[in-house]
Structure 1
Amino acid sequence: MLLRHIRYFKAVVDHGGFTRAAQMLHVSQPALSQQIKELEESLGAQLLDRTGRQVRPTDAGAVYLRYAGHVLEQLDEAARAVRDVEDLSTGSLRLGVTPSVAAYLVGPLLQRFRSAYPGITLSIRVAAQEEEIEPALRNGELDLGIGFGDLPAEDIEATLLHKERLTLLVGRGHPLTSKAAVTAAEVAALPLALLDTSFSTRRIVDGYFRSRRLRPTVAVEANSLLALMQVIRHTGLATILPENIADAELATVRFRPELELRRAALLQRRGAYRSAAARAFVAIVHEVTQAFADGR
Structure 2
Amino acid sequence: MDRRDIFPRSLQYLIAIAEYGSYTRAAEALHVSQPTLSQQIKQLEEYLQSPLLDRSGRTVQLTDAGKIFLRHARRAWGELNIGTRAIQDVQDLSRGSLRLGWTPITDYLTCDLLSRYNRMYPGITLSTLDMPQDDIEPAISEARIDIGITFSKPLDSEENSSHTETFTLFEEALYLAVGETHPRRIRKRKRITAQDFGKESLVQLNTDFALRHHIDRYCHDCGIEPRNVIETNSLTVIIEMVELGSLATVLPSTIINTQDGLYPIAVVPELPHHTVSMIWHKSGYKSPACLAFLELASSWSANMLQEKRLG
Give TM-score scaled by structure 1 length: 0.66
Structure 1 residues 287 and 175: alpha-carbon distance in aligned structure 2, compared to 1, 3 A threshold: farther
Aligned to 1:265, the other structure's residue is in SS state strand
Structure 1 residues 275 and 212: alpha-carbon distance in aligned structure 2, compared to 1, 3 A threshold: same
CA distance in 2, matches of 1:116, 1:84: 17
Give the equivalent residue in structure 2 for 1:103. Answer: 108
Structure 1 residues 118 and 170: alpha-carbon distance in aligned structure 2, compared to 1, 3 A threshold: same
What are the equivalent positions in structure 2 for 1:170-185 lying under 5 Å apart?
A: 170-177=178-185, 178-185=188-195
91-100 vs 273-282, greater mean Cα deviation: 273-282
Give the equivalent residue in structure 2 for 1:267. Answer: 279
The one-character-per-residue Cα deviations of 1:52-111 (angstroms, maximum 9, x if unpaired) are xxxxxxxxxxxxxxxxxxxxxxxxxxxxx9898212111111111112101231x21221
Aligned to 1:86, the other structure's residue is in SS state coil
The one-character-per-residue Cα deviations of 1:248-271 (angstroms, maximum 9, x if unpaired) are 222222212112222221101012
Aligned to 1:278, the other structure's residue is in SS state helix
84-93 vs 154-163, greater mean Cα deviation: 84-93
Give the equivalent residue in structure 2 for 1:201. Answer: 211
Give the equivalent residue in structure 1 for 2:146. Answer: 143
CA distance in 1, matches of 2:176, 2:237: 17
Aligned to 2:198, the other structure's residue is in SS state helix
CA distance in 2, matches of 1:99, 1:165: 16
1:190 matched to 2:195? The reply is no
User: Is 2:134–2:210's contact at 8 Å kept on the other side of the alignment?
Assistant: no
1:257 matched to 2:269? The reply is yes
1:244 matched to 2:254? The reply is yes
Aligned to 1:255, the other structure's residue is in SS state strand
1:88 matched to 2:93? The reply is yes
CA distance in 1, matches of 2:144, 2:302: 27
90-99 vs 167-176, greater mean Cα deviation: 167-176
Question: For structure 2, which runs of at least 5 residues remain unmatched after alignment?
Answer: 1-85
Q: In structure 1, give the amino acid aligned to 2:139.
A: A
Give the equivalent residue in structure 1 for 2:72. Answer: none
| CA RMSD between the two structures | 2.2
The number of equivalent residue pairs is: 214
Q: Per-residue deviation at 1:274?
A: 2.1
- State the identity %: 32
Q: Per-residue deviation at 1:173?
A: 4.3
Q: Per-residue deviation at 1:132?
A: 0.9
What are the equivalent positions in structure 2 for 1:91-170 lying under 5 Å apart?
A: 91-105=96-110, 107-127=111-131, 129-147=132-150, 148=152, 149-170=157-178
CA distance in 2, matches of 1:169, 1:210: 20
Structure 1 residues 230 and 292: alpha-carbon distance in aligned structure 2, compared to 1, 3 A threshold: farther
Aligned to 1:85, the other structure's residue is in SS state coil
CA distance in 1, matches of 2:209, 2:87: 41
Q: Which of the two has higher C-alpha Rg? A: 1
Q: In structure 2, give the amino acid aligned to 1:214.
A: I
Deviating 4+ runs (over 6 angstroms): 81-84
Q: Per-residue deviation at 1:292?
A: 4.7
Q: Per-residue deviation at 1:189?
A: 1.3
CA distance in 2, matches of 1:176, 1:150: 37
Give TM-score scaled by structure 2 length: 0.63
Q: In structure 2, give the amino acid aligned to 1:136.
A: A
CA distance in 2, matches of 1:136, 1:225: 22
Structure 1 residues 87 and 253: alpha-carbon distance in aligned structure 2, compared to 1, 3 A threshold: same
Q: In structure 2, give the amino acid aligned to 1:167.
A: Y
